[in-house]
Amino acid sequence: MRRFSWINATSLTLGFAFLYLPMLILVVYSFNASQLVTVWAGFSTRWYGELIRNEAFLDAAWVTLKVAVVSSTIATVLGTMAAYTLVRAGRFLGRTLFSGMIYAPLVMPEVITGLSLLLLFIGIGLDRGILTIVLAHTTFSMCYVSVVVSSRLDSFDRSLEEAALDLGCTPFEAFRLVTLPIIAPAVISGWLLAFTLSLDDLVIASFVTGPSATTLPMKIWSSVRLGVSPEINALSTILIAIVTVGVITASLVSKRAIAARQRDERAAAAAA
Amino acid sequence: MSPQTVFAPWDDPHEKPLIQFRNVTKRFGDFTAVDNIELDIFEREFFALLGPSGCGKTTLMRMLAGFETPTEGTILLDGKDIAPIPPNRRATNMMFQSYALFPHLTVRDNIAFGLKRERRPKPEIDARVDEMLRLVQLQKFATRKPHQISGGQRQRVALARCLAKAPKLLLLDEPLGALDKKLREETQFELMDIQEKTGTTFVIVTHDQEEAMTVASRVAVMDHGKLVQVATPDVIYELPSSTYVADFIGDVNILEGRITGQDDDRVEIAWAEDQPSIHAKARVALAPGSTAYFAIRPEKIAISATRPETAPNAVTGKVLDIAYLGNISTYHVELPGGQVIKAQSTNTDRMAAREFTWDDTVWLGWSDAAGVVLER
Distance from A68 to chain B by nearest Cα, in Å? 30
Q: Which of B87, B98, B151 sits opposite A166 (nearest CB)?
A: B87
Give the domains, in start order, of chain A with CATH numbers: 62-214 (1.10.3720.10)
Dist CA A142 CA B245 (whole Å): 56
Dist CA A254 CA A211 (whole Å): 42
Q: Is B192 exposed, middle or buried (0-12, 13-18, 19+ CB in 10 A)?
A: middle
β-bridge partners, B258: B270, B291
- According to the model, what pLDDT value does residue B1 have? 42
Render each residue's pLDDT in chain A as its tens digit; 272 residues: 466 788 888 999 999 999 999 889 888 888 888 887 778 888 888 889 888 888 888 899 999 999 999 999 999 999 999 999 888 877 777 778 887 888 788 888 989 999 999 999 999 998 888 999 999 999 989 999 999 999 889 888 889 999 999 999 999 999 999 999 999 988 998 998 899 889 889 999 999 998 888 999 998 888 888 877 788 888 889 888 988 898 888 888 888 888 887 887 787 776 65
- Taking one residue from A and the other from B, the number of pairs with CB-CB distance under 8 angstroms is 79
- According to the model, what pLDDT value does residue B184 have? 85
Name the H helices within B136-180: 151-163
What would be the CATH architecture of the domain defined by B9-91+167-246?
3-Layer(aba) Sandwich (3.40)
Dist CA B308 CA B116 (whole Å): 69
Dist CA A48 CA A120 (whole Å): 40
CB B118 within 8 A of CB A168: yes
Q: What would the pLDDT profile of B24-44 be if each residue is shown by its tens digit?
A: 999 998 999 999 999 999 999
Dist CA A138 CA B59 (whole Å): 42
Q: Is B327 helix (H, G, I), strand (E, B) or coil?
A: coil
Q: Give me the interface pTM, i.e. the ipTM.
A: 0.83
Q: Is B78 helix (H, G, I), strand (E, B) or coil?
A: coil
Q: Is B19 helix (H, G, I), strand (E, B) or coil?
A: strand
CATH 3.40.50.300 intervals, chain B = 9-91+167-246
**Residue A67: which residues within 8 A CB-CB, separation 6 or more?**
A130, A133, A134, A137, A198, A205, A213, A215
Q: Touching check for B148 and chain A: CB below 8 Å?
A: yes
Chain A residues with CB under 8 Å of B92 CB are 166
Could you give the angle at the alpha carbon of B73 between the alpha carbons of B71 and B77, nearest 5°? 115
Contact B87 A165 (CB under 8 A): yes
Contact B161 A167 (CB under 8 A): yes
CATH 2.40.50.140 intervals, chain B = 251-374
Residue A100: which H helix or E strand, with range?
Answer: helix A95-107
Cα-Cα-Cα-Cα dihedral of A260, A264, A265, A270, to 10°?
140
DSSP class of B1: -
Q: Which of B67, B147, B165 sits opposite A268 (nearest CB)?
A: B147
CB B92 within 8 A of CB B65: yes
What CATH number was assigned to the domain covering residues B251-374?
2.40.50.140
